[in-house]
Amino acid sequence: MTRFHNKVHADKTGREIFVEAALEAAASVDKGFSFRDAGMLVLGNFTSDVFEGQGHTAALMADWLGVNPVPAVRVEDACASSGAALNVGVFAIASGMTDVAIVGGVEKMSQLNTEGVTDALALAADNLYEISVGFTFPSIYAAIASAYLHKYGARWEELAAVAIKNHVNGALNPKAHFQADIMTTAKRIGEKQGRTFANEMDFLKSEFNPIVSSPLRLFDCCPVSDGAAVAVLAADDVAKRYTDTPIHIAGIGQASDTIALHSRPDITTLSATVKAAGDAYKMAGIKPRDIRVADVHDCFTIAEVLATEDLGFFPKGAGGKAAEEGRTSLKGDTPINPDGGLKAKGHPVGATGVAMAYEMFKQLRGEAGAVQVGGAEVGLIHNVGAAGATVVVQVMRR
Amino acid sequence: MTRFHNKVHADKTGREIFVEAALEAAASVDKGFSFRDAGMLVLGNFTSDVFEGQGHTAALMADWLGVNPVPAVRVEDACASSGAALNVGVFAIASGMTDVAIVGGVEKMSQLNTEGVTDALALAADNLYEISVGFTFPSIYAAIASAYLHKYGARWEELAAVAIKNHVNGALNPKAHFQADIMTTAKRIGEKQGRTFANEMDFLKSEFNPIVSSPLRLFDCCPVSDGAAVAVLAADDVAKRYTDTPIHIAGIGQASDTIALHSRPDITTLSATVKAAGDAYKMAGIKPRDIRVADVHDCFTIAEVLATEDLGFFPKGAGGKAAEEGRTSLKGDTPINPDGGLKAKGHPVGATGVAMAYEMFKQLRGEAGAVQVGGAEVGLIHNVGAAGATVVVQVMRR
C-alpha cells in the first residue's frame, strides 16, 4: 500500500501510484512473488474517467505491471470498488479460472479542487433525484446523522469520539494521510492563533472545526487522498508456495440497496451492511462476537457508528456511546479502524477496500506494529459504496 | 435487447433503457423468470460517468430492477465491458456463489455531440501517450488499417466489402441501428442529389462517403448508438428450470495487451484476440473450424478483418479477401455478424458484448429469423476493448 496523501503523489499519475503499491506487494511476499505468477488482475477504481480522463484502467495497469496478456478486469462499485474487486478475485479463484490473482485498487483525486472532487464523488449517488437538487455526500451523510441523532437521542459528541479515536490511531500509522491526533492539531493551531484548548472536544466545538453540513463538521469527514493498495490472492492449496503464514478469506458478502436515500424505509441503518455481513458470517461459520478487530467504512464519523451497529458489534443506537466509552479504541474490547480508518488514514476511494485487507492482513499476522491488536485471530473488513447502495464485507482469519 | 439507435432512446436515461432490455429478457425465458430468481447482477458499462454524469451503475440498475439486496457489480473494460461482465458472471456461478445471475450491458451515448462522444471513447486509450497528442479511435484504427494494407498488399475495397455485407445483414435485423443496405442508401441519396450510383462501391468511393481518418471512410466506422442488452445466466443443472433448450457457454477467454499501439511489435494483429480465442477453444475442446457462425467486434471494418484472421477463420492477410468473396456473408462458409455487426447494428459500447450473446443465443436456438445461419450448433462471440488492450471471447453451444 502506498501512503495515502493529497500531496506526496501530486506529480504522479494513477498508474504510477498503482505500480508503487504493486511493487511493494510483490516484494513483501515471504517466499517471493513474480507478477507473472498471476493469472488475472482485478482492479477496483471508482472514476479515473473523471479524475484523470482515463478509463479502461484495468488493462492499463496490466500493461504497466507488464503482466499482459493476463485478463484484466476493472470493477466499479463507487467507494466499494476494490472491496468488490476482492470478491471478484475470490470468484475467479474459486471457479478454477486461475490460482493466483493480483487484486488492487487505486484513485488519484487530489488534482481536482474540493468542488471538483465533490462533483466526481457525487456520481455515486442518484443523479436524477439527489445530485440534481444539490444533495452531495456530506449532506447525504448529514441527513443520516440527523435522523440517527433524533431517533436514538444520541449526541454529536458521540460522533466526535469516533474522529478523536481514529486520529489517535492514524498518528501511529506511517501510511496514514493525517499522522497527528486531534489534541496535537489543537495545540498547533492554538499556538498560531494565541488560543488554548482544554481538550479535543473544546477544539472540535470551536470555529476551527466548522460545520460542513449540519450536524457534520470538518473533523467528521474523511479527507481527499491519493493512493493505491494491492493484494496477492491465491487458492488455498497454492498459497503455501508463497508463505507459511497466509491469511484466509473465510467469508465474503456483498449486498445492494436503493441508490436514493428517499427510497429507504429507515436511513439510520445500512441494510446492505446487515445483509453482506450476515452472508459473510454464515460462510465463515462465525458470529459477530468472534471478530477481534475490524476495519469499517468511516467516510464520515456517523458511518462508523452505523457500521459497528449494523455489523452486530453493538445494539442499534449504542455505537456512538461505545466509541465515547473507548470500547472501539486500540485497547477497547472491540477495536475498530486501528489504522486510523478513512477518517485519518485517508480515502482514495477505489483503493480503500484493498487497503482494509492490507491492514487486516498485518493485524492477523501480528505485524501491525504500534497499532497491533492483541489476540487478533479473526478480523472483518467492511467497504461501503455511496450511502450503502453497495456494501462489501470480508471475514479474514489467521 | 433494446433496439440500438441514436434517436429512439433520446428521451430515456440509461437506467430506463437497461430496464427495457431486462424486462424483455425476463419475459422471453421459456418457463418464466423472475428477477428475484437471480443471486447477482453483473453490469457492463463503459463510462456513464462521462456520458450521463452517473457512476455506481450496477447498484443503480439493481435498484431499478427491484432486485436489492443482491450483489451488483459493475465491470468496465472499455468497449468489452459487457463481454467481461459475462465472464465475471461465469466465475460467480462456477464458484458456487450463485446459481443464477442477470448479466447486462448498457450505454447511453447520443446525448453528446460527435466531438463529445469521441472524447468520451478516447478514455479507453492511453491519455498520456495517445489522446494528448490527438490520437482518437478512428485514427488509431486507421493506423492499424494502413499498416495492414501495406503489410499484406490488401486494398481498401476489401474493407468496404465488410461494410456492404454488414449493412445487408443489418437491413434484416429489426433491432439494428441502420436497417438499409448500402445500395438502398445510395439510391436514396442519389435521388436527392440527382446522381446515379452504378453499385455500392461507386457510392462508397464518392464524396458521400468522406474520409474520416485515412484510409477509413465514414462507412468504415460504426455509428454512435444508445442501447442495452441483458442475459440470464444459470448454472448448468439449474438452467432446465427455465428452458428445455438452454444455450451453453462452452468456453471463455479474456486477454490483455498494451494500451498504447506504439508498445506492440505488430499492429496488424490483435494478440489478445489470439490468446483469448485460444483459451476459449481449449476450454470448449474445439478448433476454429468448428465455429459455424460468429459475432465479432467490427467497430471499424478493419477490426472485422483482423478478427476473422486472429480468431483462426482465415490466414493472416486473407480476411479482407474472404469478405470480398462473400465467404463471411449469411450464405458463405463462415458467416460473420449476421446481426449486422457493430457497423450496422450499432455499438452502445457497454451493451455490445451481451448483445452479441443475444444474437448467438438466437442463432443457436434456430430463432434468428431472416438472418438464421443453417446448422448453427456452435458459435463464437468476440468483444474488443479499445484497440485490443482487452479482448473477450465466448464459445457458445446449443
Residue A151, pLDDT score:
98
A233 and A159 Cβ atoms separated by less than 8 Å:
no
Under an 8 A CB cutoff, do A256 and B71 touch?
A: yes
* Exposure string over B9-33, b if 16+ CB within 10 A, otherwise e: beebbbbebbbbbbeebbebeeeeb
Residue A150, pLDDT score:
98
Residue B292, pLDDT score:
98
| Residue B145 backbone phi and psi in degrees, to 5 | -65, -45
CA distance B164 to B199: 11
Chain length of chain B: 398
Three-state helix/strand/coil letters over chain A? CCCCECCCCCCCCHHHHHHHHHHHHHHCCCCCCCHHHCCEEEEECCCHHHHHCCCCHHHHHHHHHCCCCCCEEEEEECECHHHHHHHHHHHHHHCCCCCEEEEEEEECCCCCCHHHHHHHHHCCCCCCCCHHHCCCHHHHHHHHHHHHHHHHCCCHHHHHHHHHHHHHHHCCCCCCCCCCCHHHHHHHHHHHHCCCCCCHHHHHCCCCCCEEECCEEHHHECCCCEEEEEEEEECCCCHHHCCCCCCEEEEEEEEECCCCHHHCCCCCCCHHHHHHHHHHHHHHCCCHHHCCEEECCCCEHHHHHHHHHHCCCCCCCCHHHHHHCCCCCCCCCCCECCCCHHHHHCCCHHHHHHHHHHHHHHHHCCCCHHHCCCCCCEEEEEEEECCCCEEEEEEEEC
A179 and A349 Cβ atoms separated by less than 8 Å:
no
CA distance B169 to A162: 63
Sign of CA dihedral A306, A311, A315, A320: negative
CA distance A144 to A138: 10
pLDDT band at A273 (very low <50, low <70, confident <90, very high): very high
Residue A44, pLDDT score:
98
From the list A59, A77, A97, the residue facing B59 with the nearest CB is: A77
**B56 — contact with chain A (CB < 8 Å)?**
yes
Under an 8 A CB cutoff, do A258 and B76 touch?
A: no
Under an 8 A CB cutoff, do A88 and B88 touch?
A: yes
Residue A46, pLDDT score:
98
Measure Cα distances from B263 to A41, B129, B132, B269 in Å.
20, 11, 16, 13
Residue range A338-367: mean pLDDT, rounded = 98
Q: What is the DSSP letter of B206?
A: S
**Proportion of chain A above pLDDT 70, given as a percent:** 100
Residue B202, pLDDT score:
97
Q: What is the DSSP letter of B5?
A: B
CA distance B129 to B261: 10
From the list A53, A74, A390, the residue facing B72 with the nearest CB is: A390
CA distance A98 to B390: 18
Under an 8 A CB cutoff, do A68 and B97 touch?
A: no
The contacts of residue A67 (CB under 8 Å, 6+ apart) are: A35, A36, A38, A41, A102, B256
**B125 — contact with chain A (CB < 8 Å)?**
yes
CA distance A161 to A200: 9
Residue stretches of chain B with pLDDT short of 50:
none
**A218 — contact with chain B (CB < 8 Å)?**
no
H helix intervals, chain B: 14-27, 48-52, 57-65, 81-94, 114-121, 137-152, 156-170, 182-193, 200-204, 271-284, 301-310, 319-324, 341-345, 352-365
Residue A56, pLDDT score:
98
Chain length of chain A: 398
Q: Which of residues 225-254 of A touch B (CB under 8 A)?
A: 254
pLDDT band at A190 (very low <50, low <70, confident <90, very high): very high
A55 and B259 Cβ atoms separated by less than 8 Å:
no
Give the angle B354-B360-B365 at the CA atoms, nearest 5°.
Answer: 130
Q: Which of residues 175-204 of A touch B (CB under 8 A)?
A: none
Strands A378-385, A211-213: parallel, antiparallel or unpaired by DSSP? Answer: unpaired
The pLDDT tens digits for A30-53 are: 999 999 999 999 999 999 999 999
CA distance A206 to A115: 24
Q: Dig out the grid coordinates for A44 from the structure.
A: 477496483
Residue B377, pLDDT score:
98
**Proportion of chain B above pLDDT 70, given as a percent:** 100
Closest chain B CA to residue A53: B123
The pLDDT tens digits for B29-51 are: 999 999 999 999 999 999 999 99
Q: B interface mutation test: which of A16, A17, A19, A49 has the most B CBs within 10 A?
A: A49
Under an 8 A CB cutoff, do B254 and A124 touch?
A: no
| Residue B282 backbone phi and psi in degrees, to 5 | -65, -45
**A54 — contact with chain B (CB < 8 Å)?**
yes
Closest chain B CA to residue A12: B128
Residue A24, pLDDT score:
98
CA distance B173 to B4: 11
Helices A114-122 and A137-152, axial angle in degrees (round to 10):
70
Residue A152, pLDDT score:
98
Burial class (CB in 10 A: 0-12, 13-18, 19+), A50: buried
Residue A110, pLDDT score:
94
The contacts of residue B186 (CB under 8 Å, 6+ apart) are: B197, B200, B202, B203, B208
- The amino acid occupying position B165 is K
**B47 — contact with chain A (CB < 8 Å)?**
yes
